[in-house]
Structure 1
Amino acid sequence: MKNSILSLMMILCLYTTLFGQQKNSTQITKRIETYLTELEKVGFSGSVLVEINGIKVISKGYGFSDRAKSIKNDPNTVLCIGSITKQFTATAILKLEMQGKLSTDDKIIKYFDNVPIDKSSITIHDLLRHQSGLQSNVGKDYDKISQAEFLDKVMNSKLLFEVGKEFSYSNIGYSLLGMIIEKTSGKTYETYLYENLWKPAQMEMTGYSRPMFDKSKIAIGYYKDDKIWGKPTDKEWDKTAPYWHLTANGGVLSTTEDMYKWHKALLGENILSKEAKNKLYHPKIRTEENYNAIYAYGWDVSQTDRKTNRVWHNGGNNIFYGDFIRYIDENITLIMLSNKSHQTNFDRLNFELSKMIFEKNYNPIIPIADNQANQKYSQNIIEIILNKGIEVGKESYKKRTANKNILEYILNAKGYDFLSQKNYEKAINLFIMNTFAFPKSANAFDSLGEAYMNKGDKILAIKHYEKSLELNPNNGNAKNMLLELRR
C-alpha cells in the first residue's frame, strides 16, 4: 500500500510539472506570436520557427516572398541561408572522416597542388575553425571565376597571421573544404551533401539547384525600400551552383521547416556518430582558448549564464538573412530566415525571442520602422545637431510627431564617419543623440564609449562602456575595451 501511494504521488508530481511547463510554454508562445505580428508591421519579412521544450510551437511566414503578386512568406518558402551553409560543409567533412576518406589533421597539400610554403602547414582543422590565416574573400559572391583561377588567387593571397595562431573568419577557407569534399568523395559538393546529410534527414527542400525548386516558392530578395534585388537563382551561377566565391561557404537555399529537420537529425546518430558530433561542437582548441565560447566546426558554441550550451550560426548578404540558434540542453530551437534587407533592425530577432523564453519579465523592443519617413527624419535630426547643437537636437526629438522616429543605425553610421575623420565632437554628439533616443541600446552606449576612448577621455569611455555592458552582459567588445582602459 505504501509503495502504491508513493507511486501515485510521483505520478501526480510529474503531471503537475509537465502541466506547469505546458502552461508556461503556451503563455510564452502567445507573447512571441504577438511580438512577431508587430515586427511584420514595421517591415519584417521572412519565416520563423520556434521550438520550446522539444515541441514546435510556431512555424509561420511574415511579409511577402513576392510583393507584386501578393504571395506571402510561409514555412515552406525557399530562402537563402547564407553562412549557415558552413555547418553543412563541416558536417560533410566529419562524415567523410567517419567513412575513412580523410582526417581533419590532413594538411591541404594532400589535396591541392602548388601550395606555397606559408600555407603548406594549413590543416582541414585550421580551415574548419577559421584559424588558417586566410583572408575572408578574394571576390564577390556571384563573380564569375573558374576553380583554377580561384585557387590561384587564394594561394597567392597574403596570410593575415601565422597558421593556427589566431582567429579570422574566412569564407574562402570553407570553399577549399568544399573542394576537398568533391576530391575525396568523387561527387559534386551538392550531390555528396544530399546523399549523406540531407536525404537521411528527409530534407527535400535544401540545396543549390538539386531539388528542382518550384521557382514560385523561391523568395524574391528586397532592399529595405522594397526595391527588388531578385532571387539567388537569377544571379550568374556556374551551371547548377554558384561559383567558388560562394559555394560551400554560403548561398544554400532552404526553408525553416527543412532546417528544423536538420536540427532534429543532428540530435540522433543517423548523420554523425556521438564521437563525431562531440568533435563538431567541441574540437581541439588553441592554448589560449577555453570551451566557454569558441568557433567550433561550422558553429559558434558558447555557454549560457544557465551553464547550458548555445549552438548558433547566422549568415546573410545584406538582402537575405538567416539566424539559427539551438539550446540543445534545454530543448529550445529558433530558426529565422528573411528575404528583405533590414540593416540591424531584425538581426537579433532570435536573441530577443531567447530572452522572452528564458527571462520571465522581459519585454522585447519593437524596432523603429525603416521607412522613407523615418530615414528622412533621421537625416533632419543629424542636420539640426551639426548646425545647432545636441541640445536643440534633443528638444526637436522630444517634440516630434507620433509617426516619426530616429533610425539608430543612420546616426551610428554618420557618427563613425566623423570618428574616422577624427572629428570627435560631431561623432560624440550623434552618439549622444542615439543614447538619448535609445536608452536601452547597448550598441549606442558602446559607440559612445569608443568615441570618448578615441578622443582620449578615458573616464567617460569607461562610464559608457560600463553602461553598455550593464545593458548587454554578453557584449565582448565592451569587456575587452574596459580591460584595456583600466590597465
Structure 2
Amino acid sequence: MNPTGKAFQGNCEIIHLKMRQILISFFTLVLFASGSYGQSTNEEETIRRINTYLSDLEKIAFNGAVLVNLNGEVISKGFGFSNKEQQLKNSPNTIFDIGSITKQFTAAAVLKLEMQGKLSTEDKISKYFDSIPADKEMITLHDLLRHQSGLISNIGKDYEKISKEEFLHKVLSSKLRFNVGSGFSYSNIGYSLLAMIIEKVSGQSYETYLYENLWEPSAMQMTGYTRPGFDPELIAVGYYRDGREWGKPTNMEWDQTAPYWHLRGNGGILSTTGDLYKWHTALTTGSILSPEAIHKFYHPKLRTDETEASYYAYGWDVYQTNRGTTRLWHNGGNNIVYADFRRFIDEGVTLIMLTNQSHPNFDDLNEEISQMIFNADYTPAIPGADNETNRNFTNFIIRTLQDSGLEKAKEAYQGKNEDQDLIEFIMRSEGLDHLYNNKPDMAMQIFLMNVFVHPNTAKALQSLAEGYMVTGNKDLALKFFNESLSLNPDNPFAKDMIKVLGK
C-alpha cells in the first residue's frame, strides 16, 4: 500500500478505498505529513539494527533485495529465493520488475527531450496525435506527467495484447474523470501516451532512447525491457501471496522486445537495486539532467489547490518532512512483484526494496527502515508468519469472536500453542470488511482483539481508531489515532484524521 492513498499501479496491499473516499469527500486532507524526529547519530548501531530486522523478515519468508544508503554507508543484500523450485537465492544482482517506478524514467526522458529542444512540457497532445476529441484538446504533457489530465487509469490488463492504434482509440474515446488540470487521478495510460510521444519525437524506440540518454550515461547496464540481454537465471520468478508461481515478467505475452501499450512507458521495466542506486547517484550529481530540468522534475508548476508541502511531481511523490527536509518517493507493483524507492536527498539516505512476492508483512519494509534511521528508539514489530498454522489459528480466533465474543477469544489466544500466532493484517482486513459492510459491532470486536495481541503495531491501532471514528466515538478515535501516530510519526492518514476530529 502506498502511504498517500493514491491509486498507484498494482499497489500490493488491498486498501479499503471506500472508507478513504467517504472521508476525503467530507474533509480536505493534507497528505504526506511527517513525524518530527531526529536522525540517529550512531550509524553503526543503526546499520546493525537494520541488518537484524532484515534477517528476521527473511525467517518469515521475505523474498527480495534491499539496498540502504546511510550517509555513504551502503547495505546491499538479497533475501529468500528468486526461484524456489531451483532453490536460487536472491542477491544484489537479481533482476526484478520495478512496476511504476518506470514512470520516473519516462518523465526524465521527456525532460531530456525538452533540454534537446525537441518538445516542451507545455505542448498539447494534439501536436502529436490526430483527431483529439474536444474534451481532451487542452491536455498537455505537463498534465500527463502530473496525473491531472482527467484520464482514467487503465483500459486493459498489463499483458493484454493491443495494437498502438487500438490503444489510442480506446484512450481517446474514454470519458474524463474531471476537467483537464483541475484535479489528481493516477493514470497509467497517460504515461503510455508520453512513451508514444518519446518515440515519435526521438525517432527511436522507447527503450533505446532511455538507454542512450539516461541509462548508459548513468552506467546502468542492467535496466530495460530486453535490451540488456538479461541472463534468464538472474530474473526473479514472481509468486502470489499464497506461494503459487506467477512466473517471470519476460515470459508473459510481449510485443517482441517490450510489453504492449497497456504497460509500456508506465511500468514493467526490469532492474536491480544496484542500478537504481546508480540512477539516484546520477540524479544527485546532475550528470543526466540540467539544474533547470532537475528543478522541474521535482518542483513542477502546481495547481491552486496544492501546497509545496506535498504533491505529485514528474514521476515522483514529493513532500516536506517535519524535519524540514525533502522526501522523493515512488512505488510500483502488480500484487505479485513490488518495488519501493525513496530518497531523503537532504539527509543522505536512500532506500530501495524490490521483491518477487508482494505481501502485507513486507511491503512497508522501507517505511520501517526509515523509522529506524530517523528515530533511534524505534523498534519495528516482526509480524507473524503467513503460514497454514497461523492462518488456521487466526480464522479460529475470528470464529470465536463471532460465536462467543471478545473475552472468550482472548482466553483462546492465551491458551494457544507456541507455534501459533495471530496474523495482524488478516485481522485488520477482516475488521475493515465488516466495518464497510454495515457490521460495526463485529468489526470493533475484531479490531479490539487485534490490538490486544498487537498493541505496538501502528496499523492495528489505526484500524481501531477508524472503527471508533465510523461508529461515532470521537474521544477513543482520537486516542488510538494518536497512539498509532506515536509508533509511526510518518503516517499522513492518522495526522489528517486527528486534525479532522480536533475540529
What's the TM-score, normalizing by structure 1?
0.92
How many residues matched?
A: 465
Gap change, CA 1:25 and 1:478, over 3 Å in 2: closer
Shift of 1:477: 2.2
Contact 2:456 2:487 in 1 (8 A): yes
1:191 corresponds to which letter in structure 2? T
1:237 aligned counterpart, secondary structure: coil
In 1, distance between residues paired with 2:468 and 2:457?
A: 17
- What is the aligned partner in structure 2 of residue 390 from structure 1? 406
- What is the aligned partner in structure 1 of residue 418 from structure 2? 402
Which is worse superposed, 310-319 or 400-409? Answer: 400-409
- What is the aligned partner in structure 2 of residue 17 from structure 1? none
Matched, 1:308 2:325: yes
Contact 1:314 1:324 in 2 (8 A): yes
Shift of 1:296: 0.9
- What is the aligned partner in structure 1 of residue 244 from structure 2? 227
Can you give the 5+ residue segments of structure 1 that lack an aligned partner in the other structure? 1-20
Shift of 1:153: 1.7
- What is the aligned partner in structure 2 of residue 124 from structure 1? 141
Which is worse superposed, 150-159 or 293-302? Answer: 150-159
Which is worse superposed, 399-408 or 186-195? Answer: 399-408
- What is the aligned partner in structure 2 of residue 422 from structure 1? 438
- What is the aligned partner in structure 2 of residue 18 from structure 1? none
1:28 corresponds to which letter in structure 2? T
Which is worse superposed, 401-410 or 227-236? Answer: 401-410
- What is the aligned partner in structure 2 of residue 27 from structure 1? 45
Shift of 1:188: 0.9
- What is the aligned partner in structure 1 of residue 66 from structure 2? 48
Matched, 1:256 2:294: no
In 2, distance between residues paired with 1:480 and 1:326?
A: 23
Can you give the 5+ residue segments of structure 2 that lack an aligned partner in the other structure? 1-38
Shift of 1:456: 3.7
Contact 1:138 1:153 in 2 (8 A): yes
1:88 corresponds, among 68, 85, 105, to 105
Which is worse superposed, 459-468 or 397-406? Answer: 459-468
Contact 1:225 1:372 in 2 (8 A): no
1:151 corresponds, among 168, 177, 190, to 168
In 1, distance between residues paired with 2:138 and 2:377?
A: 51
- What is the aligned partner in structure 2 of residue 106 from structure 1? 123
Q: Which one has the largest radius of gyration?
A: 1
Shift of 1:85: 0.7
Q: Which has the higher contact order (CA 8 A, sep 6+)?
A: 2
Contact 1:81 1:322 in 2 (8 A): yes
- What is the aligned partner in structure 2 of residue 476 from structure 1? 492
In 1, distance between residues paired with 2:181 and 2:380?
A: 40
CA RMSD in angstroms comes to 1.8
In 2, distance between residues paired with 1:62 and 1:324?
A: 17
- What is the aligned partner in structure 2 of residue 272 from structure 1? 289
In 1, distance between residues paired with 2:107 and 2:137?
A: 21
- What is the aligned partner in structure 2 of residue 326 from structure 1? 343
Contact 1:174 1:248 in 2 (8 A): yes
Which is worse superposed, 353-362 or 239-248? Answer: 353-362
- What is the aligned partner in structure 2 of residue 286 from structure 1? 303
Between the aligned residues of both structures, percent identity stands at: 58
Shift of 1:413: 2.0
Which is worse superposed, 178-187 or 476-485? Answer: 476-485
1:329 aligned counterpart, secondary structure: coil
Contact 1:80 1:253 in 2 (8 A): yes
1:433 aligned counterpart, secondary structure: helix
In 2, distance between residues paired with 1:430 and 1:23?
A: 40
Shift of 1:470: 3.5
Contact 2:56 2:382 in 1 (8 A): yes
1:258 aligned counterpart, secondary structure: helix
Deviations 1:450-473 (A, max 9, x none): 333333444443443333333333
1:335 aligned counterpart, secondary structure: strand
- What is the aligned partner in structure 2 of residue 442 from structure 1? 458
